Chains A and B, each alone.
Chain A
Amino acid sequence: MCDHHDRLKSNNKDLQSVEKQLDRRHFLKKTSLGIGALALGSLLNTEKTWASIGNSDNASVNAFTRNKLGLPHHLPKAKRIIYLFQSGGPSQLDLFDYKPKLVDMFGKDLPESVMQGQRLTGMSGSQSTLPVAPSIFNFKQYGESRAWVSELMPYTAEVVDDLCFMKGMQTDQINHTPAITFFQTGHQLPGRPSIGSWLSYGLGSDNENLPTFITLVSKNGKGQPLKASLWGNGFLPTEHQGVQFRSGKDPVLYLNNPDNYDGADRKRMLEYLGDLNSIQHDAYGDPEIQARMSQYEMAFRMQTSIPEVTDTSDEPEHIFNLYGKDSRDPGTYAANCLMARKLLEKGVKFVQLYHQGWDQHIGCPNGVKFKAKQTDQATAALIKDLKQRGMLDDTLVVWGGEFGRTVYSQGQLTKTNYGRDHHPKAFTMWMAGAGVKPGFTYGETDDFSYNVVKDPLHVHDFHATLLHLFGIDHERLTFKHQGRRFRLTDVHGHVAKDILT
């Protein structure tokens, strides 16, 4: 008999009296239904129970003793990451992937030799023609690396020598939700842990007073919706999920105590709650209880740490000027970039930004122009700011969307206007900072920016490379769930060694 498992045991007087009251009922329950229920419960819960032994117990014994997962596997280059997710699929053709030969092809049907029978979306698949739409924007080469950038990104053009362009990006998904889920979790269906959760699980926290993984979404975002599963923990212990800050003046609500409450006994209250929870945990072994406990404690610590880190009033004027005037307006992309830098300075490991609205099916030129204007200055400012502080040394910056856009026009093509549909087979992203080659371009597309002709980089490869920069062998960071060991890259992924310093 293992009835001691779910018997309440406490040194607390109040709880002991509750225990006694329960005795008779407890006895009856044990002798009748108890054993069967216990057996069933342990059948259903074995995984959680094992998980709590193998995995989440680490949380209590961290940092000064060795990493329980044997991480990092090799010397890391990156300590932190900020991922600037451009949701919707920015048009590589109008921003970075310069294709001068397209001008001669204006309005001509996209050759079948380029399409190679690719299945299109329902949005442009039924079009009678697929007219080639060259970008109406001017491109120039910048910096010592002579990287091509369009006139829409004048600020980014200033920092190209710090960026590593990946022009041969490829994904398997052609629609937003599966594509963005794939990018953030390594699988097109929701339910797997996101990149940030894997890093938090694997490497732990650098600052106990702040979450390891924080998500910031630009306010007033229109376009494809974002959802919490993108920064979810999947089957990893819950404390590793991304904590989303609100995009507004108060990034975290209710940090201040309510009126007429001075907060003096808050700590005692939490300790008592912790006692209750740990009794519950002893009884059921559910690691979710531990996760809840650590989240309550985190919330308590965030009451002091968050106001400090989200307060930008001590930033000097020239920093605001650097990020652009939007940076004074909380919740904008620029303000989020600035806050991201402050979070990274405080030891947050993963800051995930989202900026929505890069989905230009119609009116692509104006749409891209508008989105570029919202993000360009702040993105470049972030690079410069991290660099001058010496943080770019060990901070990885990632810029990119979930896929690219087609060379042909969706809908009518005119001299000044066109639309572009989703394109998963070739698009551009860039990384900067820790361990990636600055002023470097990896991968190449054909003259239509439709197929990758050199050095393709699949989403799985991107994940493998990202983990590599953090000192992690992507094949060895695994978590056993439902009888199988899962990893971020599933059974795929190759580290793109050519882009590493």
Chain B
Amino acid sequence: MSDTSDFVLFLGRFHPLVVHLPIGFLFFAFLLEVLGRKKKYEALTNAVPLALLSGFASAFIACVLGYMLSMSGDYDEGMLDIHFWFGVATTIIVLIAWLIRIGKIKLKKKLKIKANISAITLIVILLSITGHYGGNLTHGSDYLTKYLPFNKKEEKVLIPIEKLEDAVVFDYLVAPVLDAKCTSCHNESKKKGGLALIDSLSIMKGGKGGAALIAGNAAKSEMIKRVLLDPHHDDFMPPEGKTPLTEEEIDVLKYWINGASADFSSKVGDVETPENISKIASEMLGLGHSAGKGKIPNLTEVDDSILKELMTEGFRVSELVFDSNIYSIELPAKTITAENSSELNKKLELLSKIKDNVFWLYLEDNQLTDAHLNGVTQFKNLKKLKLNKNSISDAGVSQISSLELESLNLYGTNVTKESLKTFLKIPTLKKVYIWGTSISKKDIDSLNLENESPEFILGI
């Protein structure tokens, strides 16, 4: 069918435009007919033949254009056939109705009125059916009912998995990408380019241009080539106006075609998985610590008045990501000195009102003691904690081992090598700053650390 000339397709695309004309004319004819039965509006019936004739003419043109459009082969054939025949039938009935109306088909007077009204009612019914199928063709068969109240959506339910290795590559990684970016045009009823990307059968069947992919060769696979084209290229997918695939999504598709040879049942554990893919995959599936990194928990909004109060108490407050409700909080060094050390408790108490929202906490050089750290243990989302230049000892540090910290600054505190054990208990910890404490390089060397352990920064 690809030999259909461009000009025919060009005309064909006017079908959705022209098709609305007969709909309007014919419904209006129906309206005139019904109203015309009342004495008061009798004159209206004079217009019915004109409305029917215009309806017929435009319906005829719409049929021709519709046929031209169908030659593109982009549509589901079964549904297309129904739409086509209903369209043709409607047009013929309109012609007959018009002929009856103007008296070319001669009927007895009594019969004529009945025939008029029934023909025009039939037209309305046929129009509705044709229109419905037409709409299904363009928008997909679930378009009309998608948001129907109480309409339970049947969704493929993926069982949540614990380990990345157990995830079926296609179901857990590839299908979500296709669903998000491709299937709105490449589905069972709307097969743009003859291609559907719904399931293994349709994907392997390919489209008009041939196979959608070549297992094991992403670089030569059409679906990869298309998404990597210059965005202004005519063949670029998804077409202009739709959201393009992200680099990560393309990597996942490539990994599936190359690594998993486009197999539909392989699991991540069965195929060689590069590090960047496992990172992307765990993020997609929300797994593991690597996924937790950089991921922002859903937090409730903080009351503005608390933030204002914090600022008047001398805290520097900044939201780390706009509208994320996670904050970096800093009490500038020396806000608390020996003279006003009693205020510290009050300030920390106020801060604990937003304890879940604090990601980074800077409390450097503010007369903190071990006792204050007890409160800090409640800040369960803390990633970065600066406690340097405070009188903090091992006892204080041992309390915060339950936090999932990534960076802990304890330079110029009273911690000793005893605390090294505490640090190792925090699996997320990456950096510990212990310059100016009694911990020496020898102490750290004696731990015989593995690569996974945090980096200890001692200073010069």
| A interface residues, Cβ below 8 angstroms from B | 63-67, 70-76, 79, 204, 206-207, 322, 345-347, 384, 387-390, 393-394, 471
Contact = CB atoms under 8 A, between A and B. Distances in A.
Nearest to B322: A70
Contacts of A65: 304, 307
B1 interface: no
Contacts of B433: 388-390
Interface string B306-318: 0110110000111
Given A64-B307, A75-B294, A390 B407 contact: yes
B311 A63 contact: yes
Contacts, number: 76
Nearest to A71: B322
B191 interface: no
B439 to A, nearest CB: 13
B318 A63 contact: yes
Interface in B374-426: 384, 386, 388, 407, 409, 411
Contacts of B458: 388
Given A388-B457, A390-B409, A72 B388 contact: no
Contact of B388 (A73, A206, A207, A390): A390
A244 to B, nearest CB: 25
Interface in B409-460: 409, 411, 431, 433, 435, 457-460
Contacts of A74: 321
B319 interface: yes
Contacts of B294: 75
Given A64-B308, A70-B323, A207-B332, A388 B317 contact: no
A347 B316 contact: yes
B296 interface: yes
B79 interface: no
A63 B312 CA distance: 12
A394 B386 CA distance: 12
B333 interface: yes
Interface residues of B, number: 32
Nearest to A471: B321
Contacts of A63: 311, 316-318
A347 B316 CA distance: 10
A384 B411 CA distance: 14
Contact of B320 (A70, A76, A345, A347): A76
B322 A206 contact: no
B318 A206 contact: yes
Contacts of A76: 320-321
Contact of B457 (A79, A322, A387, A471): A387
Nearest to A381: B460
A387 to B, nearest CB: 6
A206 B316 contact: yes
B320 A67 contact: no
A72 B321 CA distance: 5
Given A64-B317, A206-B318, A347 B435 contact: no
Nearest to A69: B322
Closest 5 CB pairs of A and B: A388-B459, A390-B409, A390-B433, A388-B435, A64-B307
A484 B405 CA distance: 44
Contacts of B323: 66, 70
Contact of B386 (A73, A347, A390, A471): A390
Contacts of A346: 332
B318 A388 contact: no
A143 B295 CA distance: 33
21 contacts: A63-B318, A64-B308, A71-B322, A72-B322, A74-B321, A75-B296, A76-B321, A204-B318, A206-B316, A347-B316, A347-B330, A347-B332, A388-B433, A388-B458, A388-B459, A388-B460, A390-B409, A390-B431, A390-B457, A393-B409, A394-B384
Given A63-B311, A347-B332, A393 B304 contact: no
A64 B313 CA distance: 12
A71 B318 CA distance: 10
Interface string B282-303: 0000000000001010000000
A322 B435 CA distance: 15
A67 B322 contact: yes
Contact of B411 (A206, A322, A390, A471): A390
Given A206-B316, A390-B433, A393-B431, A75 B321 contact: yes
Nearest to A77: B294
Contacts of B459: 384, 387-388
Given A66-B323, A393-B384, A393-B431, 5 more contacts: A206-B318, A206-B330, A387-B457, A388-B411, A390-B457
B366 to A, nearest CB: 14
Interface in B305-350: 307-308, 310-311, 316-323, 328, 330, 332-333
Interface centre among B308, B317, B318 (most CB of A within 10 A): B318
Interface string B88-112: 0000000000000000000000000
A264 B386 CA distance: 38
Interface string B234-262: 00000000000000000000000000000
Contacts of B322: 66-67, 70-73
Contacts of A79: 328
A207 B318 CA distance: 12
B233 to A, nearest CB: 19
A207 B319 CA distance: 15
Contacts of B333: 345
B337 to A, nearest CB: 14
A127 to B, nearest CB: 41
B316 A207 contact: yes
B4 to A, nearest CB: 40
A117 B394 CA distance: 66
A142 B215 CA distance: 45
Contacts of A64: 304, 307-308, 310-311, 317
Nearest to A384: B460
Contacts of B307: 64-65
Name the residue among B296, B316, B460 with the largest chain A CB count within 10 angstroms.
B460
B449 to A, nearest CB: 15
A389 B407 contact: no
B321 A73 contact: yes
Nearest to A208: B316
A345 B388 CA distance: 13
B241 to A, nearest CB: 18
Contacts of A206: 316, 318, 330
| Residue with the greatest number of chain B CB neighbours at <10 A, chosen from A79, A204, A387, A389 | A389
Contacts of A345: 333
Given A67-B319, A207-B316, A388-B433, A393 B407 contact: yes
Contacts of A72: 320-322
B315 to A, nearest CB: 10
Nearest to B433: A390
B460 A322 contact: yes
A383 to B, nearest CB: 10
Contacts of B457: 387-388, 390
Nearest to A72: B321
A388 B432 CA distance: 10
Contacts of B330: 206, 347
Nearest to B408: A390
A67 B325 CA distance: 12
A72 B323 CA distance: 9
Nearest to B320: A75
B167 to A, nearest CB: 25
A63 B330 CA distance: 13
Contacts of A66: 319, 322-323
Contacts of B308: 64
Nearest to B455: A438
Contacts of B407: 390, 393
